[in-house]
């Protein structure tokens, strides 16, 4: 599955659950809440076994917003990686 396929599949499941009742700002706040959950999984020396699941939650919430807003997130990611590569370090230390 491509990233856009995953975004569509996840969007359709969230829609089926009846959870598309938020503003974009509210949906972004839920992305932040998932980041908080991921942080909690890293409070000890090593991330817990649940860390990967929380990273997936972050991505799925972002993909849901992207699909909802008609954003081709795969193209955006590829384009941004190209911009980052061309930008180089801009003097920052590696
Ligand atoms: Mg979570």
CA 77 – CA 94 distance, rounded (Å): 22
58: CA distance to ligand 1 center in Å?
7
> Which 8-state DSSP code applies to residue 79?
H
Break the chain into its structural domains and give their ranges. Answer: 3-87
How far is CA 8 from each of CA 15, 36, 64, rounded to the nearest angstrom? Answer: 10, 25, 8
CA 81 – CA 92 distance, rounded (Å): 17
CA 46 – CA 13 distance, rounded (Å): 32
16: CA distance to ligand 1 center in Å?
19
Listed in sequence order, the DSSP H helices in the chain are 3-17, 24-40, 51-68, 73-87
67-77 pLDDT tens trace: 999 999 999 99
Contact 31, 62 (CB under 8 A): yes
What's the predicted TM-score (pTM) here?
Answer: 0.92
Q: What is the full per-residue pLDDT of the chain (94 aa) written as tens digits?
A: 999 999 999 999 999 999 999 999 999 999 999 999 999 999 999 999 999 999 999 999 999 999 999 999 999 999 999 999 999 888 788 7
62: CA distance to ligand 1 center in Å?
13
Domain 3-87 bears CATH identifier 1.10.287.1080: yes
For the record, the structure tokens of 14 come out as 């969230």
CA 29 – CA 93 distance, rounded (Å): 32
């Amino acid at each position: 599955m491509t990233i856009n396929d995953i975004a569509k599949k996840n969007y359709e499941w969230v829609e089926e659950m009846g959870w598309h009742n938020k503003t974009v700002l509210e949906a972004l706040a839920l992305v932040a809440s998932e980041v908080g959950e991921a942080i909690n999984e890293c409070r000890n020396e090593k991330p817990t076994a649940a860390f990967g699941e929380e990273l997936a939650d972050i991505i799925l919430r972002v993909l849901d917003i992207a699909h909802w807003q008609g954003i081709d997130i795969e193209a955006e990611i590829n384009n941004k990686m190209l911009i980052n590569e061309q930008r180089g370090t801009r003097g920052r230390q590696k």
